[in-house]
Amino acid sequence: MPTPLTDSKLPTRSATRLALAIGGLSFGMWCERGMPVSLDPEHEPFAIPHASSHPCEIELDIAWASQLDVPDASPAFVSGGLWSAFTHSTGTQFYFTTPTLGPAPYKAAWFDPTFSRGHIVLNRASYPAGQPVYPLEYPTDELVMMHRLSLGEGLEVHALGLVDEDGSGYLFLGHSGAGKSTTARLWMSNPGVQFLSDDRIILRKLDGQFWMYGTPWHGDAGVASPARAPLTSVFLLEQAPSIKFSPLPASQAAAELFARAFVPHYLKHGIHFALSFLDDLTRSIPSSNFCFVPTQDAVEAIRHAHA
């Protein structure tokens, strides 16, 4: 495992500061002086005001690198996409590559075992000169979140989350094409409904209550909110010729949730925590398979069933 950047190579505290909060966790970024940085539009609603004076739970130092090389060691996990993970007792490293930029990594990141402190370095040659960069651009932001949550803090799931006008918090699960964005559009015409996200929801348990948090990682409906809401009910979506509810046993509901969860599968502690968390959630929150027709009748059916 390569040696992390030394303190002498890290940005000073007079550098540019960015900070945001997602899922009840705060991210602080100290960016190298002179580096042009900005949040992307999806993350702007999650920005923390007065970032320079706000200490965060996850603190990151951001710097340029003139060259990055993939380690000679075997990775613990290869995503098959943009990143590979290398683990060690001192922490975790990620290297990011894409065929469009060649074999050299365009970015690398180092994190301590608690994912409270990290360094992110950007290969200067991979970024257009003078153009603002967002250091936590996808998939880095979700990657950090997934690993931090796996330490006992929560779980990210592929789902639509919304809050009805009576305060009921509904979680609609589904793989791509199951009807999450369609369901979001059905509820949009109903006043008093608050949307958290139409594609990624973070679940956490605080003081005995399960909560849903919105994320910036939205789907086709473009729904992304920094708000949170208590979780009331879980629905597994299935488009069908008619509307039908089928209660799910806790064990089946947990399995369905796990199949749609973002978990570092190469880490045993992440798997164990996710399974324990979902067992607790599905024993506490009612879950149903929801066959629906994409009309307003589907909205009324949910409301009637939980009146």
3-state SS of 18-63 is EEEEECCEEEEEEECCCCCECCCCCCHHHECCCHHHCCCCEEEEEE
Taking the domain 155-305, which CATH number applies? 3.90.228.20
- What is the reported pLDDT for 178? 83
Biggest CA–CA distance in the chain, Å, is 64
Inter-CA distances, 217 with 38, 44, 180, Å: 17, 12, 14
Side-chain half-sphere of 12: how many Cα atoms within 13 Å?
Answer: 3
Alpha-carbon distance of 159 to 178, in angstroms, equals 10
Nearest partner of 104 among 139, 65, 141, judged by Cα: 65
- What is the reported pLDDT for 14? 56
- What is the reported pLDDT for 307? 65
The one-digit pLDDT tens for each residue of the chain (307 residues) are 444 443 334 444 557 999 999 999 999 999 999 999 999 999 999 999 887 777 899 999 999 999 999 999 999 999 999 999 999 889 999 999 999 999 999 999 999 999 999 999 999 999 999 899 999 999 999 999 999 999 999 999 999 999 999 999 999 997 777 888 889 999 998 999 999 999 999 999 999 999 999 999 988 878 889 999 999 999 999 989 999 999 999 999 999 999 999 999 999 999 999 999 999 999 999 999 999 999 999 999 999 887 6
Alpha-carbon distance of 46 to 49, in angstroms, equals 9
* Residue intervals in the chain for CATH 3.90.228.20: 155-305
